[in-house]
Amino acid sequence: MKHVTVLMGGLSSEREVSLKSGAAVNKALKELGYQVSIVDVGRDLPAKLAELKPDIIFNALHGTYGEDGCVQGLCEIMGIPYTHSGVQASALCMNKEYTQSLLKSHNIPVAESYYFDDLDEIGADIMDFPFVLKPVAEGSSVGVSIIKSVEDLKKAKTEWHFGRAMVEKYIPGKELSVAVLESPEPNALGVIELRPKVEFYDYKAKYTDGITEHIMPAPLSEKEINKVKSLAVKAHKALQCHALSRADFRYDGNEFYILEVNTHPGMTELSLVPEIANYVGINFRDLIEILVKKAKYHNS
């Protein structure tokens, strides 16, 4: 049986989530009979991989270095097949600015947005309140604020430490996620609706049990379901994702606006992709095995 090394933890703000994803993946791989080793990723990763000599890397990292093309590039250099998307798609999807630009060029609806290196350039007249302030290159809603007033904007500016910022029009309505799995062609498995009991689907709402109601399948018409699934598949292809992605949308009752495409969806007990997959008959172990079998290095 092949030796799979699970990369987890890491150096990003999403470290704790990655540790949970990695633990769940590790358990599933052992149940499937793989030889498994785990690495809590640090700057000594190249030396550890050279020592372990895995056949496949299962990338359970989230955030900076793990899903932005950095680890993917290392795997390419070392010639080790790895799960999920390659360097280009990972880097694109991690950067919301580049993602939105590419999606717009493919006529996929995105919310009106502006980008700033200096937050002092963001005035209250940038767009009507409320609007969303978020980092260009963070995941799990880290650093995201809904700005409803001048006071909110001032407070957000004083607390900001995320680099380049994105100001995005707030879209009222439903919060939706669509899982896309290649089998072998990209196929949208289903649509789930998130109803957080807090203001919006932030980091706490994503990873604290009981704070967000998950409704699977999302209560939409067949026409609406087909439309948002089609947009998710179109985005997956446009960004050249591989194996698995999750597209997040807001739906105002008239148009679906894509917020982001995640190339490394969470694999925790509260994660959306495993829940969607399970609903359509793909249990967690089956999902992990599909990803392992699709592992590759993209420059081969």
Task: Tell me how many helices (H) and strands (E) the chain has.
Answer: 10, 12
Is residue 159 within 8 Å of 135, Cβ to Cβ? Answer: no
Whether 250 is catalytic is no
95 is catalytic: no
260 is catalytic: yes
Q: Is 248 a catalytic residue?
A: yes
207 catalytic? Reply is: yes
The residue annotated as part of the active site, out of 14, 67, 193, 202, is 14
- The one catalytic residue among 67, 202, 260, 289: 260
181: helix, strand or coil: strand
Is 297 known to be catalytic?
A: no
Amino acid at 145: S
Q: Residues 15, 190, 246, 251: which is the catalytic one? A: 246
Q: Which of 248, 250, 251, 271 is catalytic?
A: 248
Query: Among the options 65, 82, 201, 207, which is catalytic?
Result: 207
H/E stretch holding 251 reads strand 244-251
CA distances from residue 33 to 1, 8, 91, 281 in whole angstroms, order as listed: 7, 20, 32, 21
- Cβ contact 81:251 at 8 Å: no
The one catalytic residue in 85, 262, 271, 289 is 262
Q: What is the dihedral of CA 33, 37, 41, 43, to 10 degrees?
A: -140
Active-site residue among 59, 95, 140, 245? Answer: 140
199 sits in the region (left: phi over 0; alpha: psi -120 to 50; else beta) called alpha
Give the start-end residues of each E strand in 88-144: 113-116, 131-135
User: Of residues 9, 63, 66, 266, which has the active-site annotation?
Assistant: 266
Q: How far apart are the C-alpha atoms of 74 and 69, rounded to whole Å?
A: 9
Check if 14 is active-site.
Answer: yes
Active site residues: 14, 140, 207, 246, 248, 260, 262, 266
